Structure 1
Amino acid sequence: MGAGSRIVVAAVALAAAAAGTISAGAANAADPVTFTVEPSVNQLTVVDAPAGTALELVDGSDAVVGSGTTDANGALLWRDLTAGSYTVRTTTDPVTTSDPVTVDDFSDPAPDQSFYSGQTLQDGFGYLETRDGTTLSVNVSLPGNNNNGSFPTVVEYSGYDPSNPANTTMAQLYNTLGFAYVGVNIRGTGCSGGSFLNFEPIQSLDGYDAIETIAAQPWAKFHQVGMVGISYPGISQLYVARTQPPSLDAISPLSVIDDTYRGTLYPGGILNTGFAVPWAKERATQAAPYGQAWTKQRADAGDTVCAANQLLRLQNPDPLALIEDNAFYSPQMYDRISPTTFVDDIDVPVFLAGAWQDEQTGGHFPAMLDQFSSSPHLYATMSNGAHIESLGLGVFRRYAEFLDLYVGRRVPNGAAASLVAPILANSLTGVSGLTLPKGMDWSGMTYDEALATYEARKPVRILFEEGAADGEPSGAPLPRFARGFDSWPVAEAQATRWFLRPDGSLRARPSSVAPGRTTPRSYRADPGALPETTYTGSGSGIWQAHPDYDWQQIPAGKGLGWITPPLKRTVVPIGSGSVDLWVSTPAGDTDLEVTLSEVRPNGREVYVQSGWLRASHRALDPSSTPLDPVPTHLEADAAPLPSGEPTRVRVELFPFAHPFRAGSRIRITVDAPGDARPTWAFDTISHGERVAVSTDAEHRSRIVLPVVPGVQVPKQAPPCRSLRSQPCRWYEG
């Protein structure tokens, strides 16, 4: 995330065979055709062929398993191949057939260590080689006097421009913290070779090879490295660490995704056109030949490797077509690109942080925290706030300490972190005059003592009321208070229910009104009744202290709301929640958006969290709990709503933590998607259909929240406008 201005989330990567672009200049069928075959891991590439050459891929049993036409650069790539022997042949006379080549499998052993130690990387720009011969562009930045000596080393790996020599922000940050920094571009991006498809498996193996090559360098202390990065390079760490590189010490993924489909791309089964689709489109644009301007500048200046590495870019699949073709959850497609399915393979210490209201990746990531079963230590910090909150002042000290202890293998000093953290916070949020809060005094400790002290802390840390720290500027990236817990989900959380009543109230007990004695409340599902998003400014502007939100009340008749009486005692939910509704519509299907908010005694309403569901996707996975409905999103499970018949649907409230103080009221609203998130918009099927919500004694619609007892909070609520990424408005009952 260069200069703190990169956007990210979790984007879409699906397995698909990539057909080349047909060129008008086809080869003459009468001439023998020459070409080069390059086998890889579950892939095979043809290069150096005439443009427009029709080719067939033949497996070891002489069966044709693929076909295509070389692109304008004379290249053709087949993805998703079973490991084994293959040949390639032309389809016109005279037939030219290649020698057999062997395609490897993702699970095959890595190359011998000599493959990595035989490569040399020096300070500055260069290339490393992966197991299939692809070269990845890298930029090495050593701290201080780098002529001699070795340094603890961190690696940033993404499809942005971490290897761009002119992108120095992260290099300067980690150099100041005392680490050598290496930025590596994923294959098919920057000056790296190969073809690009978001998060495809071979990128994980490339990451393994990058880690081992970098760790083998004489300047890499201990011949071990750690990984760093926020957003895209944060997510990429999870894919690399699953391959268990022996020279990887630790990872520190910040602002990540857990489930590509459920968490960011299709929340509730509804396509996220506000962030996920534009992000995928931008990745495709930047992965095109010379899609990043700095690469053309290098090639024009004589970098022949960078120029040659652009030649497979015409084999990049169209991500938008893949998105549209996979509107339901396909385990074959999505399981391998959803971190929640493989983070149990990560066997190194992990420092993870993010925000509930993340306007990009979405804040669903805590749902995977209990899956890190092989990691010896998982430290998770979560707060309200924006995409860059994981680099905020409430997180940074523990983050720097983690890197010192697990990558640097040294007692934390804290001086460098105290210097750079306020500068970073100011550049991201525009808030000046900040200082890094004081932390542990490590002086006099041995390394073992310091490590034991760090590991004795509660591994799960919740930062509350970010932006409202006492004595700090309003909207500063600092929490008002923090609490620690032993696990996630928080073991003490109690599933607490409030039932929706016919009169619009939320009560601890369900309605006693018999069906037929009351008319269900209803609304018109009108996505155009409100703006698509609650924020329309610049991507970095939303990280400022007081963004200009446009969070409006739902117009009469376009949605429904239920609200509790003033609370008699403070309630602190921490975790995911469920909104269980009995809905009906003559349309057969509808898209639901639910929003949780706090209404204060002074009439101010504060945004807390939202959830979404396409009603036809209501079938639940057996892993669902009262607090955590998990729709399967399988096409085979999709079913229309019975016309006019109340049907139970369960909408997941994304994870959150928020104190509802005594005297405040808990509110839930239901409407068509599109007016709750700053940058998320939806390709909704709602078009004005009438939607009824039944709340009688037989149809017990309810909300279920994970209330944690005994959490002490400051007595007075902070000014609502100070809370980061939690818009505030006047309540209209």
Structure 2
Amino acid sequence: MRRTSRAALAAATLFAGLLTAPGLAQADDPAGFTLRPGANQLYVLDATPGTALDLVQDGAVVQSGTVDAAGSLVWREVDAGEYSVAGSNVTVPDFDDPAPPQSFYDGQSLDEGFNYITARDGTTLSANVWFPPGEGPFPTVVEYSGYSPSDPGETTFAQLYNALGFAYVGVNIRGTGCSGGSFLNFEPIQSLDGYDVIETVAAQPWAKYHEVGMVGISYPGITQLYVARTQPPHLSAITPLSVIDDTYRSTLYPGGVLNTGFAVPWAKERAEQSAPFGQGWEQGRVDAGDTTCAANQEVRLQNPDPLALVTDNPFYGARYYDMVNPTLFADRIDVPVFLAAAWQDEQTGGHSPEILDELTGSPHVYASLVNGSHTESLSLGILGRYADFLDLYVARRVPAPNDAFPRSFIATTLAKSLTGVDGLAMPPGPSYAGMTFEQALASFESRDPIQVLFEEGAADGQPSGSPLPRFVESFPAWPVPRAKATAWYLGGRGELRGRPLTQAAKDLSARSYRARPKALPATTYSGSNSGIWQAHPEYDWRQIPARTGLGWISRPLKKDTVAVGTGSVDLWIRSNADDTDLEVTLSEVRPNGTEIYVQSGWLRAGHRALDLDESTPIRPVHTDLEADYRPLPADTFTKVRVELFPFAQPFRKGSRLRITVDAPGGARPLWDFDTTIAGGERVWIATDRTHRSRLVLPVVPGVDVPRKAPPCASLRSQPCRKFPG
């Protein structure tokens, strides 16, 4: 039975009435062009190129523009209301207006193969439908992104989900592929389009239960959060893999420093691929006679430049960054969620677990978290639980065992393709043998929802670098409730101490370094994107050159110490410049003299102002507002707190904790930074009784750690090197 609330029925009734309002639907303008209003947007189509037009409300010009060479003009950020263009009246709806009635979705028919889905504003979205073997109806999943999920030549994920028994629907976001409309990363109208996609697919006779789930990793993982916030009544569950939480603070500007190594190139690539025929496969469709795809390229010249939006907004501003901050609307998601992420994710950054405690509206939130790369969320240790979730919450069936075909074949084939390691097997998962669906669901829901996979790549008895964990621990919530904020204090001679110093400032001189961001290679990995997913990528993780950074190291630990969550490096700094960029890195130094990378964090010191309501001892949250920017005062030590991104690491007895501080660069794969502030200034760090610089980690007691440490080179996305001490 379809899930339809009273509120949804009321909204549908209201929308049906609004359909008769003048100008809401696409209309021909007396001046010879077409007006297509959408949520807080207005498209002008088929106009004469070069025509100057005004958007007028109550006799005042609200926006102006010139029709481009393709005959199009798009006005964005338009308040809902009545407007006129060249004498023609039009009504612009609001993002929060009611959705179309069910008849709007029931009236659209999708067949196996290539289709178009019509969104509420008349924009058509290209969609490709793939059926699994057998007779329908089928449990159904949707992948929705600005990559190329509707390209008939893109078969990998369609085949994967078909093999698992799901119908797969790949849909291109507006302004990409063969979809119509204009494109801007994650703008609100894409969320409404996603609602319309879900409801249209769910209305098909071949969609089992007339409900669908959403799937996808990275970009199509992120879009799930945006669609789910609109609460489509026939969305059953979402599975965001390798995603973001707060786009500004996690990926674009971590610590207020622009990420030019991944974020900027990704924005540039999105601009290129959303240009007319930008993905390439569209031309083949048009050449074969697809006139809809051809017409849908005509609004692309109105795409804003996403790269300019990023670089022109170095501070957090609500107008742009609230739009791309899923933490602000995560509480609206009201379906079960399965999230997977890797701490050292070289693309999105691994900060996404910080959205988990914001998903307060979801009835069930599950997460599998692991060390490793961007594709680790599809690793052998996670895929079985992920498939269980889809079976239970989308297909409503008892999950198959992990060693059953085709599940095991899919998982091991995918693992070999991504990592190059052959001959692997999925680890055994929970057994649902002999259970009814209701019993299997209750069994799944009875387990702790947060699963942390430790030491991925070092599973006992498996080849080094395999996408399997060495051990797994589960927790009831995130952040881990029993984690205890534990501090190590920076000493004046490079030591990390369990207790704060007692010396006064006059008795202990501050140490200093010269900020030289080019002293190291920009990134620890510069090969291909797919190459880093292999079992043993070639990293270039170097020690900081003398006098360009500082390090502190603890005494050997007296017992195993497991940290799970974010960390904080609280520093008292002074500089001969009015600002500086900081990079902090946490590593483990083993008794045999090898050093293993754990995690990093960044901060532009001028962004040091904290959101006091959100910050904790283990997680500093900065406002990043231009109004809160403060230069460093001269001749005075100032406290700054740098967030270490989330991680999970067992530090064994006998190992030592090490942190380093320098200018950004040379710590992470692919990531590089626009360190325009850091350029030769001297930075002092005070470590005395009144300036208690410290490292604070979330130490979780009661975790059993395998006695022997694995070979450091086996750990996925955690390079190792020789410690010089």
TM-score by length of 2: 0.95
Counterpart of 1:16 in structure 2 is none
Cα displacement (A) at 1:149: 2.3
C-alpha distance in structure 2 between counterparts of 1:630 and 1:353, whole Å: 23
SS at 2:227 equivalent = helix
C-alpha distance in structure 1 between counterparts of 2:636 and 2:697, whole Å: 27
Matches within 5 A, 1:206-285: 206-285=193-272
Counterpart of 1:590 in structure 2 is 580
Aligned residue among 609, 621, 625 for 2:616? 625
**Partner letter of residue 532 of structure 2?**
I
Counterpart of 1:21 in structure 2 is none
C-alpha distance in structure 1 between counterparts of 2:219 and 2:46, whole Å: 33
Tell me, yes or no, if structure 1 residue 64 matches structure 2 residue 61: yes
Cα displacement (A) at 1:644: 2.1
Counterpart of 1:664 in structure 2 is 655
Counterpart of 1:107 in structure 2 is 96
SS at 1:572 equivalent = strand
Tell me, yes or no, if structure 1 residue 465 matches structure 2 residue 455: yes
C-alpha distance in structure 2 between counterparts of 1:450 and 1:149, whole Å: 23
Cα displacement (A) at 1:333: 1.8
Tell me, yes or no, if structure 1 residue 720 matches structure 2 residue 712: yes
Cα displacement (A) at 1:332: 2.6
**Partner letter of residue 40 of structure 1?**
G
C-alpha distance in structure 2 between counterparts of 1:48 and 1:347, whole Å: 40
1:122-157, CA deviations, whole angstroms, 9 ceiling, x for partnerless residues? 000010100000000000000014xx4210000000
Aligned residue among 77, 83, 86 for 2:83? 86
Cα displacement (A) at 1:46: 0.8
SS at 2:415 equivalent = helix
C-alpha distance in structure 2 between counterparts of 1:732 and 1:553, whole Å: 8
Tell me, yes or no, if structure 1 residue 162 matches structure 2 residue 154: no
Counterpart of 1:26 in structure 2 is none
Cα displacement (A) at 1:33: 5.1
SS at 2:651 equivalent = coil
Counterpart of 1:7 in structure 2 is none
C-alpha distance in structure 2 between counterparts of 1:408 and 1:365, whole Å: 27
Tell me, yes or no, if structure 1 residue 116 matches structure 2 residue 119: no
Aligned residue among 696, 699, 702 for 2:691? 699
Counterpart of 1:689 in structure 2 is 681
SS at 1:598 equivalent = strand
Aligned residue among 339, 342, 350 for 1:352? 339
User: Retained in 2: the 8 A contact 1:33–1:50?
Assistant: no
Tell me, yes or no, if structure 1 residue 320 matches structure 2 residue 307: yes
**Partner letter of residue 625 of structure 1?**
T
Cα displacement (A) at 1:658: 0.1
Counterpart of 2:415 in structure 1 is 425
Cα displacement (A) at 1:531: 0.2
Cα displacement (A) at 1:215: 0.4
C-alpha distance in structure 1 between counterparts of 2:449 and 2:488, whole Å: 31
SS at 1:128 equivalent = strand
C-alpha distance in structure 2 between counterparts of 1:461 and 1:331, whole Å: 33
Between Structure 1 and Structure 2, how many residues are aligned? 691
C-alpha distance in structure 2 between counterparts of 1:641 and 1:201, whole Å: 38
C-alpha distance in structure 1 between counterparts of 2:597 and 2:693, whole Å: 22
Matches within 5 A, 1:539-550: 539-550=529-540
C-alpha distance in structure 2 between counterparts of 1:74 and 1:467, whole Å: 54
Counterpart of 1:572 in structure 2 is 562
Counterpart of 1:50 in structure 2 is 48
1:598-642, CA deviations, whole angstroms, 9 ceiling, x for partnerless residues? 000000000000000000000000211111100000000000001
C-alpha distance in structure 1 between counterparts of 2:34 and 2:443, whole Å: 57
C-alpha distance in structure 2 between counterparts of 1:132 and 1:418, whole Å: 43
Cα displacement (A) at 1:63: 1.3
Counterpart of 2:550 in structure 1 is 560
Counterpart of 2:19 in structure 1 is none
Tell me, yes or no, if structure 1 residue 517 matches structure 2 residue 507: yes
The ranges of structure 1 where at least 4 consecutive aligned residues each deviate by more than 3 angstroms after the TM superposition are none
Aligned residue among 123, 131, 155 for 1:134? 123
C-alpha distance in structure 2 between counterparts of 1:716 and 1:563, whole Å: 22
C-alpha distance in structure 2 between counterparts of 1:57 and 1:516, whole Å: 67
TM-score by length of 1: 0.94
SS at 2:650 equivalent = coil
C-alpha distance in structure 2 between counterparts of 1:491 and 1:48, whole Å: 58
SS at 1:388 equivalent = helix
**Partner letter of residue 140 of structure 1?**
V
1:477-515, CA deviations, whole angstroms, 9 ceiling, x for partnerless residues? 000000000000000000000000001100011111111
**Partner letter of residue 226 of structure 1?**
G
User: Retained in 2: the 8 A contact 1:535–1:678?
Assistant: yes
C-alpha distance in structure 2 between counterparts of 1:514 and 1:143, whole Å: 72
User: Retained in 2: the 8 A contact 1:597–1:605?
Assistant: yes
Counterpart of 2:606 in structure 1 is 616
User: Gapped runs of 5+ residues in structure 2?
Assistant: 1-29
Cα displacement (A) at 1:517: 1.9
C-alpha distance in structure 1 between counterparts of 2:309 and 2:172, whole Å: 23
Cα displacement (A) at 1:300: 1.1
C-alpha distance in structure 2 between counterparts of 1:259 and 1:617, whole Å: 16
Cα displacement (A) at 1:319: 1.0
Aligned residue among 488, 491, 495 for 1:501? 491
C-alpha distance in structure 1 between counterparts of 2:492 and 2:723, whole Å: 20
SS at 1:407 equivalent = helix
C-alpha distance in structure 1 between counterparts of 2:684 and 2:283, whole Å: 57
Matches within 5 A, 1:392-403: 392-403=379-390
1:430-450, CA deviations, whole angstroms, 9 ceiling, x for partnerless residues? 111011111122121000000
C-alpha distance in structure 1 between counterparts of 2:529 and 2:476, whole Å: 35
Percent identity, aligned pairs only, is 69
**Partner letter of residue 201 of structure 1?**
P
SS at 1:302 equivalent = coil
C-alpha distance in structure 2 between counterparts of 1:114 and 1:577, whole Å: 51
C-alpha distance in structure 2 between counterparts of 1:318 and 1:516, whole Å: 53
Cα RMSD between the aligned structures?
0.8
Counterpart of 1:645 in structure 2 is 636
Counterpart of 2:22 in structure 1 is none
C-alpha distance in structure 1 between counterparts of 2:213 and 2:381, whole Å: 22
User: Retained in 2: the 8 A contact 1:576–1:627?
Assistant: yes
Aligned residue among 195, 200, 217 for 2:182? 195
C-alpha distance in structure 2 between counterparts of 1:309 and 1:194, whole Å: 7
1:194-242, CA deviations, whole angstroms, 9 ceiling, x for partnerless residues? 0000000000000000000000000000000000000000000000000
SS at 2:561 equivalent = coil
